[in-house]
Amino acid sequence: MTKTTSTLTPQQQALKNDIIGKINRHFGKVIEEATPQMIYGACALTVRDRIMEKWAQSHRQVREEGSKKLYYLSFEFLMGRLLCTNILNLMQTEDYEAVLTDLGYSLPEIAELENDAGLGNGGLGRLAACFIDSLTTLDLPAYGCTLRYEYGLFRQKIVDGYQTELPDTWLEHGNAWEVARPEEAVKVSFGGDVSTYWEDGRIKVAYSNERTVLAMPYDVPLCGYDSKIINKLRLWGAQSVTDFNMKAFSAGDYARAIEEKELAGIISKVLYPEDNHTEGKELRLKQQYFLVSATLQWILNEFEMRNGTDWAKLPDKVVIHINDTHPTMAIPEMMRLLMDEKGLGWDEAWEIVTHVFAYTNHTVMSEALEKWPLDLFRRVVPRLYMILEEMNRRLMERVEAFYPGDKGKHDWMAIIAGGQVSMANTCLATVFAVNGVSKLHTEILKADIFKDYYMMDKERFHAITNGITFRRWIANCNPELTALINNTIGKGWLKDSEKLSKLAEFAGKKAFQDRFDKIKRANKKVVADYIWEHNGVKINPDSIFDIQCKRLHEYKRQMMNVLHILAEYNRILSDPQYAKSYYPKTYIFGAKAAPGYKRAKLIIKLINSVGELINNDSRIEDKIKVIFIENYGVSIAEKLVTAADVSEQISTAGKEASGTGNMKFMLNGAVTIGTMDGANVEMYEQVGDDNIYIFGLRSEEVDARVRIMGNDEVKYIYAQNAALRGALEMLINGTIVPDTNLFMDLYNTLVFGDYGQADTYMVLRDFEDYMKTHEQISKDYQDRPKWIAKQIMNTAMSGFFSSDRTINEYNDKIWHLDPIKS
């Protein structure tokens, strides 16, 4: 209901009139009749208007300055909701809050009505979203390029403890932020036959029988925090070329017309839900070609419009970033366009291509390294296949010159070998810059999987540690803590994150500690209420909130966490002294498993079953609660990171390339229990020994342990560690669920292993250290001033993990973009 009296400023009154105007003109309602959904829609439209006004201006500026542009190609952009981010970035949070309160709503309540844009699986996709926010905040001209999936990552519903998958219908009420650009649609063709012939002394290419779809761009304008430029995220959606391909139809090619229509219908339908894993699916390959071909046609069209056909200048005006190998086909596609469409020779085209592309690797897991079967590749993109063959032939000459006579290197480094196309090698053979996403990860790339390429050209390898945007991951999600920091050290830290370190001097101050702790307590209460509403479990907000939320994967070791909870539970039951001194804990998990990853799904069932057992066992007097948060994603993460006391970052050392959740928890004042893996190593460097709990084998020890000690060590640990054995046996003795077979696979893989190698991920080997570290944490937590100081130190020292720092590093080392002038 609208209030009649108001204390709005004139600017806020104008905003209010704008919103009411949108309700009238867009929804045809008077404000009194508006539903909350309409209020959301009206707010979004007013924000959009403000962005649009800046957009036209910024567009002209970039054009006039002739700026170099970054195109960030990624199959995932996990944006989450945009209303609050945009409002914050326009510096209008207070105005919108005031107006919505005046209208009888609150900003958070309205913001929650927006569907998350869940166009990503996890870390890699969220990183792209943080990057585009920082790029824009730093006034650097950049475009994110991805697919407009009709269905983002599946919605997870837990039924009887099991994960089930439902479609994510995020577009069902429309997308307030996108603008279709039909005038910039392009065609993308698949398959068919390719023949080459000579004409005027040049080789020409003719296609026949190909299948063509239309790529329709939808642009989402993006504003940075207190900045000038408007960048955009371009989402490509597939459409049929004409409703029926009339030409083919009238020529009697009925089947082909239908096929094209069908292809157009499925290409941008759904995001593949595998993370750190690839399967050679034909449709995924087609998605890849669709995105890269559409994007490159657009890039070349834009360049030609502004700069004419002096293609040699392309590297001065354009840099294309390949986010993991998924958009690798951009490389041969650029060769194709430059040669077949623009008439360049191989050498000229190659000179350009090798100065335009840069590539980031995000994983060393061998099952995630993309390789495509030759036959499939040749069938879907025959012309690109021809180009890759020639690239490979030339590459092998270079390899032979550097490693004479070393046949093993040929196979390992080849673009095409063993009946497969290697996407990583295609990148490594071409790009001018390669980077890993943390120091340790980059060291592993250089010493291990990319060693042979590293030796050939060391200069182009970079270590650039990931980061997160502080605007979303503290300013928006933790406004109280943000206000406390602003009041203590001033506002500059949101744009200059190193300034956060000024907080360190307040870490030991009683008054500051009290305020910091009160905010954490309030955030824990919010999560406790959420759990009560969604899980029906009562949570004690004064218990230790210990949170592990991220994709479910064996290497992330949710399993170790569960086994440890079981060990604590057993000990509470059997050891009264321990039970008495046990400080209450709430263990919170959130994780989606790839739908085809059976073991990961079984671990979800295990977590839920363990929760069922422990949460309902009155003997332990509510000392432990185990909660599984359904449908973990960006928006619920925004709540969880503010409420954690302990952040679980416990991957097998050497396996997590960086991690970015670790940074979000740290920023919001959680203390990490973690292995020396990924960016944890650098978090340790920032906060020092006293403010982080490091345990477990180091990455260089992991491989050696398997090699030297093998399964004997596992047998020994099993025999000697009674707490661990007790927990493991619960998996198969009917305590957790009556069916003793249900979790047998989880037991077997740890104790006996797959293919004879027990404990692949060092769960058993790291267990004892993990347990002891947890005991220390419980003890330290109870020394409140000491513990709160640790939490404050984590916030204070997290400035390094701002994605603004990351983007500045990319820009200095790789992209060399200039910020737009005022």
Contact 371, 420 (CB under 8 A): yes
Distance (Å, whole) CA 526 – CA 480: 13
CB of 181 to ligand 26Q, least distance (A): 27
Strand partners, 358: 321, 433
CB of 545 to ligand 26Q, least distance (A): 23
Distance (Å, whole) CA 149 – CA 171: 9
CB of 609 to ligand 26Q, least distance (A): 27
Contact 673, 572 (CB under 8 A): no
| Choice between 466 and 798, CB closer to ligand 26Q | 466
Structure tokens at 608: 């839920």
State the helix-helix crossing angle for 36-65 and 10-27, rounded to 10 degrees: 110
Distance (Å, whole) CA 605 – CA 741: 13
CB of 100 to ligand 26Q, least distance (A): 35
- Position of minimal CB gap to ligand 26Q: 123
| Choice between 137 and 660, CB closer to ligand 26Q | 660
CB of 588 to ligand 26Q, least distance (A): 20
| Choice between 535 and 651, CB closer to ligand 26Q | 651
Nearest in space to 457 (alpha carbons), one of 495, 428, 422, 497: 428
CB of 81 to ligand 26Q, least distance (A): 20
Amino acid at 806: T
DSSP 430-477: T-SEEEESSHHHHHHIIIIITHHHHHH--TTEEE----B-HIIIIIIT
Q: At a CB cut-off of 8 Å and minimum separation 6, what does 64 contact?
A: none
CB of 374 to ligand 26Q, least distance (A): 17
Distance (Å, whole) CA 366 – CA 654: 12
| Choice between 740 and 760, CB closer to ligand 26Q | 760
Distance (Å, whole) CA 722 – CA 730: 12
| Choice between 399 and 807, CB closer to ligand 26Q | 807
- Which parts of this chain interact with ligand 26Q (CB under 6 A)? 121-124, 127, 272, 274-276, 278, 284, 326, 362-363, 368, 370, 437, 466, 656-660, 678
Strand partners, 548: 589
Cα 683–685–686 angle (5° rounding)?
65
Nearest in space to 473 (alpha carbons), one of 503, 452, 502, 494: 494
Q: Which residues are catalytic?
A: 362, 550-551, 556, 660, 664
| Choice between 326 and 765, CB closer to ligand 26Q | 326
| Choice between 70 and 614, CB closer to ligand 26Q | 70
Query: What is the longest distance spanned by two Cα atoms in the chain?
Result: 91
Count of H-run helices and E-run strands, the chain? 33, 25
Distance (Å, whole) CA 790 – CA 612: 33
